[in-house]
Amino acid sequence: MSSVLPIPFGPEAYRSEAVFEAERSAIFEREPVPVCRVESLAEAGAFVAGSVAGEPLVVLRTASGAIVALSNVCRHRYATMLEGQGCAASIVCPYHRWTYDLDGRLIGAAFMEGADGFRASDVALHHFHAEVWNGWVFVSLHAPVTPLASRLAALAEALAEHRLADWRAVRTIDFPSDCNWKAMVEGFIESYHHMGVHATTLEPFWHAHESFVSHADGEYLELRHPMHEEQGTFAVYLGLPLFLLAIVEPRRAAYWYEVQIERHDRIVVRVHVMLPPEIADSAEAATEAAESIVAIHSEDQRILRNVQAGVASRFTQPTALSPLEAGVAGFQRYVRARLEAHVRQA
Ligand SMILES: [Fe+2]
């Protein structure tokens, strides 16, 4: 696989369905990824439907108050059941009304008397591994070898002063994007592109050439800017593989970039605007933070389209990354290492 993905990645890394399939097995079927915030699951029955590595699932709060991740696929004829987010007393399949309780047990299936080999008590929805970290619910298809809390201990320490568990996601903006997930993550973890993409929005105060990677290891990457007297500063964090968070200070706002990966060339970037508890009820603060991220991420969305068009090229060649792109190099090393480890295990 190392010959498939030299660093810096060549264009095939972003356009190949085979590489994407390998990433799915090597990374997304194994690693915990954030699916929602706990404040979305305030009361019993509150749920958020989503998917991890293409697997449909729903995260919900059970009657006993536990947070669980269940398969969102009916055991009968495999229709997906809950959609979006909301609150439900039970999970009812829209196809034939099979009904499951919040722990995933089948509690209702009409006209199944006399059905061959059917016993309702044998039927339940699969449970995935769910873990709450800093106010986010992370889900993984298989129980991780290392619990998230110990894996992300250093990142938790870096973020501790913000007390993010108390923040609230107050707005959500979807950016459907025709690009490979890696191109998006790479743009997130470098500010070299402020000169080109954000020349009038970010570059005037957060200069590309002053950005620096302040932490890089196999668990997380951190990129920062020096403090600007009026605008303050910001830092971006990438908890590998797919926890993306930007924090602006001292005018406090955070942006959680939830990346929903649909195909090798299609993602939805769902940006959640988060505010600290002291201003979380301020509609004005929410609107201001949302408007600024719409302006900025729209600029990113446009350039990601250019990149996806460019990686179709069969004649371009990789050259080198700038020292300002140390975060990109760190991310690429992580992806390559995971793919190599997966090939060795196979
Ligand atoms: Fe950007």
Q: From first to last of the 346 residues of the chain, give the pLDDT tens digit.
A: 445 578 999 999 999 999 999 999 999 999 999 999 999 999 999 999 999 999 999 999 999 999 999 999 999 999 999 999 999 999 999 999 999 999 999 999 999 999 999 999 999 999 999 999 999 999 999 998 889 999 999 999 999 999 999 999 999 999 999 999 999 999 999 999 999 999 999 999 999 999 999 999 989 999 999 999 999 999 999 999 999 999 999 888 999 999 999 999 999 999 999 999 999 999 999 999 999 999 999 999 999 999 999 999 999 999 999 999 999 999 999 999 999 998 888 7
**What is the distance between the alpha carbons of residues 329 and 224, in angstroms, rounded to a whole number?**
16
> Cα–Cα distance between 130 and 38 in angstroms, integer?
12
Range 149-332 classified under CATH 2.102.10.10 = no
**Ligand 1 center to 170 CA (angstroms):** 22
Q: Which two tokens stand for residue 346?
A: 């196979």
Question: How far, in Å, is the centroid of ligand 1 from the Cα of 313?
Answer: 23
191 CA to centre of ligand 1 in angstroms: 7
Within the chain, all domains assigned CATH 3.90.380.10 are found at 149-332
Q: Report the separation in Å between the CA atom of 100 and the middle of ligand 1, taken as the mean of its atom positions.
A: 43
Choose the CATH number for 33-143 among 2.102.10.10, 1.10.3720.10, 3.30.1740.10, 3.20.20.70: 2.102.10.10
Distance 62 CA to ligand 1 centre (A): 39
Q: Residue 183 Cα, ligand 1 centroid: separation in angstroms?
A: 11
Predicted local distance difference test score (pLDDT) of residue 253: 95
Q: What is d(CA 269, CA 188) in angstroms, rounded to the nearest whole number?
A: 11
Q: For residue 136, which of 70, 59, 52, 73 has the smallest C-alpha distance?
A: 59
Ligand 1 centre to CA of 127 (Å) is 37
What global pTM score does this model have? 0.95
Q: Where in the chain is the domain with CATH 2.102.10.10?
A: 33-143
Using the mean position of ligand 1's atoms as its centre, give its distance from the Cα of residue 146 in Å. Answer: 32
With contact defined as beta carbons under 8 Å apart, do 179 and 307 qualify? yes
Ligand 1 centroid, distance to 160 Cα (angstroms) = 25
Strand 253-263 and strand 220-224: pairing? unpaired
Residue 69 structure tokens: 């991740």
Distance 250 CA to ligand 1 centre (A): 20
Distance 304 CA to ligand 1 centre (A): 10
